[in-house]
Amino acid sequence: MIRRLSRASLLLGCAAICAPLAAETTSEAEQPEREYLPSTIVVSGEREDYANDDGSSGTKTPTPVIDVPQGISFITSDQLEDQSIRQLGEAVRYIPGVSLETGEGHRDEIFIRGQESTADFYVDGLRDDAQYYRSLYNVDRVEVLKGANALIFGRGGGGGVVNRVSKRARINGFAASADASVDTFGAFALLGDVNATLSESAAVRLNATYDAFDNNRDFFDGYFVGISPTATFELGPDTRLFATYSYDYDTRTVDRGNPSDNGRPLFGFRDTLFGDRDFNETEAETHIGRVRIEHDFSTGLSANASVQYADYDKVYANILPTGLVDVGGVTSVRFTGYEDSQDRQNFIAQANLVGTFETGAIGHTLLAGIEFVSQDSFNGRRNAFFSNAAGGTTSAFVTPLTDVFAFPAIGLTAPVRARDSELGVFSAYIQDQVAIGEHVEIIAGLRYERFDLETVEAITGVPGARIDEEFSPRVGLIVKPQDNLSIYASYATSFLPQSGDQFFLLTPTEAAFEPERFTNYELGVKWAPTPDLIATAAIFRLDRTNTRATDPNNTGLTVLTGESRVEGFELALTGSVTGFWQANLGYTWLDGELRNDNAFGSAGARLQQLPEHQITAWNRFDLTEQFGLGLGVIHQSQQFASFSNTVILPSYWRFDAAAYYTVSDRVSLQVNIENLFDEDYFASAHGDSNLQPGKPFGARFGIRVAM
């Protein structure tokens, strides 16, 4: 405890010293729409569009998207509203190059360019890495920044990261809106958003929601409660302070999906819960508080400092299928289970100084920053056991395959896992964006990161400790034949310590090895034919090295020779195609394999859940001033459920639709249809025995009122 308090005091002191520096932009008057956290939030219901010009999340400087040498996809608040999307997982389905992992039915888990992660999530540029489901009720837009880039985000993020940009209070008068919706499964949601100006220099905003869950799966239910107040203060003509707090509570049925059947998903049981209706449940309670201060020293020098504290408390329990078995000629299901608890406290302090200046004919945008992270985590587990007819217990339960399962009494063992970990990270980074004439820009930078991890398995008393010190470079070349066209080439790296992305446990064996490395090479083009439309294309190669493998010459020894490679091509078109047509369209081709035998699998195996072809498309057509239609398409070609390459998730096409009717300036109605043609498909997996079926045809009816 003393150690935690002393570390927190040190970080708070550093944040306090850095706080007077404040703001990443030049002057607000000069760059009003290119702040790191832009102030273009609209509460009143006035539509913007699907386009976004803010690329500052990729550089921590006021940079347009077209000048960032990296693939960036985003979903604006308007698109989220048009699709009636409430959860992060639902949103990223519509981003090319991103696919979902089932996440064991209790957390967000994604693949970006073939790299799996439960931790590469950020909110307003600060790490939000616990395992839970993220709601979007207080989010202005979702950004996916692709490719390794530890310079900006630090360790992890091998395939990219997901950043949520929060809604902010605005000093622009009073505005409020309310949303209500219900779907054909019985789920419903209520959302409220109120912005109030307190004075010429202060405003507050409150976002809140209640979301009741339901779907086609038997016995599935749950609810989410979220409340997020935020305040904005103009402390002077050049200084701004933003404070945000969010409280989220999520409870729902844990659904691990269906088992596989001879190398393919088990079809015909789309509504069946392969678990126990009373035992399968998760609860997650999250508190996140954040303060950010910005200050402009002059039109060419600005700074910011941010402090964030997050507390995550979660428990989940599940009975899950481990496969089909034959019992006397009867197809049966084998079940096991466990209960898992996770607690985490994160403290993050970050400060950045941004200067713009010229040396002769060469322009510079210079970023220098530091970041401190203190993270304390606990992970505990108890296994489930089943009563049997003989009066004893067993760790597994086998029962004939049926639509509804009846389980015997279920109990829990003594703890089999009790892991404590303490993580301290210090980072310092510098980046220069160099403009050479009107047509050439170079971005180059380096991040130093000291990663200090200590863990202990309390049951055995076995400790683990390791300190890693890594340098992560980034270099990009941008050629601009004209202002609205850029051609870029980039190189960037990232790293991940051998303890995995949650850092619950570092074994003595893992402590002996250096981190895995990710190296991203990318060539791309970005073209903005109009200010409200951007088209992008990119080819890339992502190499993962330093993966653990068994030494072929020394049986039993482990070496860092494992490698994998992903190569791909991506196209996207986002924004206003015409005056009545908004679109977010994407296509990705991906090819990835293990280049040798390693901890993941055998040489030549295709990477897990890596569809060769992926199409994502969402369109809104405003046919009149009052009436509009929406059409969405998701396609994924077949993919392997795991590195074993023995179970296939078949290819599928899913079509979504929507209709919008504006009753008045203040009232609008909409209906959203998911899986219009009732495609029977499997959208994701968690290994070969937990395959998640997609929802059948369903409709959501909503009303929105603005004041």
pLDDT in tens, 198-214: 999 999 999 999 999 99
What 3-state DSSP class applies to 306? Answer: strand
Please state the φ and ψ torsions of residue 436, each to the nearest 5 degrees.
Answer: -105, 100
3-class SS string, 353-401: EEEEEEECCEEEEEEEEEEEEEEEEEEEEEEEEEECCCCCEECCEEEEC
Q: What is the pLDDT of residue 560?
A: 87
Has residue 2 got a pLDDT over 50?
A: no
Quickly list DSSP for 425-443: EEEEEEEEEEEETTTEEEE
Which range of residues forms the domain containing residue 157? 2-706
> What tens digit of pLDDT does each residue of 667-678 get?
999 999 999 999
Q: What is the pLDDT of residue 557?
A: 73
Q: What is the pLDDT of residue 49?
A: 84
Q: Name the pLDDT band for 693 (thresholds 50, 70, 90).
A: very high
What 3-state DSSP class applies to 74? Answer: strand
Q: What is the pLDDT of residue 556?
A: 66
Rounded Cα distance, 561 and 399, in Å: 43
Has residue 21 got a pLDDT over 70?
A: no
> What tens digit of pLDDT does each residue of 521-574 get?
999 999 999 999 999 999 999 999 999 888 777 666 788 889 999 999 999 999
Domains in the chain: how many in total? 1
Beta-bridge partners for 424: 374, 452
Has residue 288 got a pLDDT over 50?
A: yes
How much is the average pLDDT of 119-144? 96
> What tens digit of pLDDT does each residue of 93-122 get?
999 999 999 999 999 999 999 999 999 999
> Residue type for 34, please?
R
Residue environment code for 524-550, b if the CB has 16+ CB neighbours within 10 A, otherwise e: bebbbeeebbbbbbbebebbbebbbbb
Percent of the chain with pLDDT over 90: 88
Q: What is the pLDDT of residue 555?
A: 64
pTM (two decimals): 0.92
Element (H, E) at 627: strand 627-636
Element (H, E) at 10: helix 2-18
Q: Name the pLDDT band for 50 (thresholds 50, 70, 90).
A: very high
Q: What is the pLDDT of residue 456?
A: 96
Q: Name the pLDDT band for 6 (thresholds 50, 70, 90).
A: very low
Has residue 9 got a pLDDT over 70?
A: no
Q: What is the pLDDT of residue 3?
A: 40
CB 338 within 8 A of CB 382: yes
> What tens digit of pLDDT does each residue of 383-417 get?
999 999 888 999 999 999 999 999 999 999 999 99
Rounded Cα distance, 500 and 507, in Å: 11
Rounded Cα distance, 47 and 577, in Å: 16
Has residue 22 got a pLDDT over 90?
A: no
Has residue 13 got a pLDDT over 50?
A: no
How much is the average pLDDT of 172-182? 96
Closest CA to 434 of 444, 424, 419: 444
Has residue 500 got a pLDDT over 60?
A: yes
β-pairing, 222-236 vs 462-482, is: unpaired
Q: What is the pLDDT of residue 31?
A: 34
Q: Name the pLDDT band for 650 (thresholds 50, 70, 90).
A: very high
> What tens digit of pLDDT does each residue of 210-251 get?
999 999 999 999 999 999 999 999 999 999 999 999 999 999
- The CATH number linked to 266 is 2.40.170.20
Percent of the chain with pLDDT over 70: 93
Tokens in use for 277? 């209706």
